[in-house]
Amino acid sequence: LQVLVEYDGVEWHRREWISIYKDSLFHLFLVEHSLVWTDRLDPLSPNSGATVLWPALSFSPLVAAVDMATNQQPLEFLLDRELAFRDYSRLQPFQEWDPKLPGLRDYPELRAAVRRWSELQDGQRILVTTPSVLVGYRVEVYRAEGTTQWYTAVIVSYNEATRDLTVTDDTVLEEHNEDPCIVQMRLIGDGGRPYAVIT
């Protein structure tokens, strides 16, 4: 398995293909899994000492050659991107935004981050599970090769045998066959931004 990786704080064109299982390169390699709620000190009012429920990304390991406590889940909190470990018993699955949660009703930027993540996941779910209903929709497609990071296109057909979407690139009017299970795609207008690139 090769993964095309972009690094935080580094220009996208410095990305690289990594064979994550080759030569024991990684002892731990995690990919984003889901959004959860968990407790933490309020990072936007640190002097208050208040504990709030906060949305965080949870991860699943592709490589786990190190011993981690079996009850510990690695997390990345939304907005400030602080990394932490939490006991599984302290995690609540994210289902929908509850404006009554203590502390969160005052943070519109946090609600916006959750909404962007949720919209992106909804778009990904449709692209992977029922792509045939998207013929005629516009998408952005991650470009694994080339001088641009993304290209925009229109979905013109879906091949059930290969699971490929045929898309027409807006810029050069060429058709490309892309598998939404392999290449990161996002529906234009879904308001989302990708948290992961290509797998």
Structure tokens at 14: 């410095």
* pTM greater than 0.85 (yes/no): no
Residue 154, domain CATH: 2.30.30.30
Asked if residue 148 and residue 53 are part of one domain, the reply reads no
User: How many residues are present in the chain?
Assistant: 199
Region 12-20: mean pLDDT is 92
What was the pLDDT predicted at 66? 82
Q: Is residue 182 in a domain?
A: yes
Asked if residue 168 and residue 98 are part of one domain, the reply reads no
132-183 confidence digits (pLDDT tens): 999 999 999 999 888 899 999 999 999 999 999 999 998 888 999 999 999 9
Asked if residue 17 and residue 87 are part of one domain, the reply reads yes
Asked if residue 101 and residue 20 are part of one domain, the reply reads yes
Asked if residue 139 and residue 63 are part of one domain, the reply reads no
What was the pLDDT predicted at 146? 81
Region 190-194: mean pLDDT is 38
Pairing of strands 164-169, 83-87: unpaired
Q: Is residue 95 in a domain?
A: yes
Asked if residue 71 and residue 16 are part of one domain, the reply reads yes
Residue 43, domain CATH: 2.30.30
Asked if residue 96 and residue 34 are part of one domain, the reply reads yes
Residue 48 has pLDDT above 50, yes or no: yes
The DSSP secondary structure of 102-122, one letter per residue, reads: TTGGG-HHHHHHHHHHHHHHH
Q: Nearest-5° angle of CA 160, CA 62, CA 35? A: 80
What was the pLDDT predicted at 34? 92
Structure tokens at 167: 């898309």
141 within 8 A of 156, measured Cβ to Cβ: no
What was the pLDDT predicted at 5? 92
Q: Is residue 18 in a domain?
A: yes
What was the pLDDT predicted at 104? 62
Domain that holds residue 167: 131-187
Asked if residue 86 and residue 15 are part of one domain, the reply reads yes
Region 25-47: mean pLDDT is 88
Asked if residue 70 and residue 12 are part of one domain, the reply reads yes
Q: Is residue 112 in a domain?
A: no
Structure tokens at 114: 């959750």
55 within 8 A of 110, measured Cβ to Cβ: yes
71-129 confidence digits (pLDDT tens): 788 999 999 999 999 998 889 888 777 767 665 667 888 888 888 898 899 999 999 99
Region 30-51: mean pLDDT is 87
Q: Is residue 152 in a domain?
A: yes
